[in-house]
Amino acid sequence: MSTIQEKNFTQDLLTKLDDIIVDFVAPNAARIDREREFPRENITELGREGFLGLIIPQQLGGLEAPLSLYKETVIRLAQACASTALVYVQHMSAVSILLYGKENDYIRNILSNIGKGQCLTTIALSEAGSGCYFFLPVSQVNETDKGLRLKTNKIMVTSAGEADVYVINSKATFAKNSMQSNFFAVASEYNGIEVGGKWEGMGLRGNQSAPLTIDTYLNKQMLIGEEGEGFKITREALLPMGQIGISAVNIGIAKAIYNESVNYVKKRFYTHINTNLSDFQSIQQMIGEIKVLCDQAETALNVFVQRMENKEVDMVSTLEVKVMACQTVLQVAELGLKVCGGHAYSANTPIERYIRDSMAGTVMGPTPDVLKELIGKIVLDVPTQL
């Protein structure tokens, strides 16, 4: 594909995305948050236009789009509805893992259905025993006469009860430690998988994050890649894809707060002194700071994605990008609250929703504090599990 063709391809997809956001994602956002409703209609429309298969090769029915388009898709979705953006990110993270099994007919069929917009996936990785270190599972599959026995409880599974396929990790049959792990692709209706409860979180209320109780026998066709290859797949696919996605969600939320703050400041007028809120120097400075913070974080993410596409990424830069995005959105949320005052603190306003959503990145694994610890270990040549 020539440069001009690629630009036209990207622009055509972004136009379709903007139409979906205007017609479905943005109008549904307040209701999804208020009712804690899974964004099914939004995901269906994204699938209809091929966005569920955005990075899947064309020969498997996908769009084979660049990572830069994935990043931009997530940012734009998050500006309208962060719950939809997170569901999409966890789906795409699962897709990045599934691509390691594309030579397997069972996995190829899943990828084909994703490309057709007929399959939503998600990752089911976190366990109470490993917490935010989701890439180090505690559970282990055991070889039996009935197949590979897996008994575990996964926590904080986005799209639990809504996804068609779960990508599940565990230690390999021969594993001596959590780094010797597997990934499995398991249909949601498969025997022995049960969803426990509904999501009652402060923010991202539509993502339906819930526990999965798993007590089942898997067959080897469900294995993604080679046995024991899970940690390699995590490093090469899941971690970079997840870092791009979660960073883009947070940057999208930050940009939404910025836009809402600017609009509010321009409209707010004090009749008793015949002055607009935008005339106050302190407000000008805070709006300027929000703008700088958003631009810095987005520029850093753009650079990281470009390096990913050029295969020039190192582990430190992979870890850094989410730290910057999470720190940025928290700073922006605080400034937005100060700028907009009671308007931002009032329930059921867009900016109040954005501020609640901004808190999620701080607790989503691997958390910024864990990432900073890992970065410090790498820089100081201290052994790490990455």
Which of these, 245, 249, 241, 212, lies nearest to 359 by C-alpha position? 249
Task: Give this prediction's pTM.
Answer: 0.96
The pLDDT of residue 2: 63
The number of C-alpha atoms within 13 Å of 34 and in the hemisphere containing its C-beta is 9
Residue 270's DSSP bridge partners are: 275
Q: If you search the block for the tokens 């298969």, which residue do you land on?
A: 53
> pLDDT tens digits for 101-114?
999 999 999 999 99
The pLDDT of residue 29: 98
Tell me which H or E stretch contains 12: helix 3-20
The pLDDT of residue 197: 83
The pLDDT of residue 132: 86
**Maximum pairwise Cα distance, the chain:** 82
Ranges of the chain with pLDDT below 50: none
Q: What is the dihedral of CA 260, 261, 262, 265, to 10 degrees?
A: 120
Q: Across 85-229, where does the E strand assignment appear?
A: 121-124, 142-144, 147-157, 165-171, 181-187, 193-195, 210-218
DSSP 3-state of 254 = helix
The pLDDT of residue 1: 59
Tell me which H or E stretch contains 122: strand 121-124
Q: If you search the block for the tokens 């509904």, which residue do you land on?
A: 198
Which of these, 187, 244, 222, 320, lies nearest to 65 by C-alpha position? 244
Are 121 and 46 a contacting pair, CB within 8 Å? no
The pLDDT of residue 160: 97
Is the bond preceding 137 in cis, omega lying within 30 degrees of 0? Answer: no
Q: Across 133-178, where does the E strand assignment appear?
A: 142-144, 147-157, 165-171
Which of these, 39, 36, 41, lies nearest to 197 by C-alpha position? 36
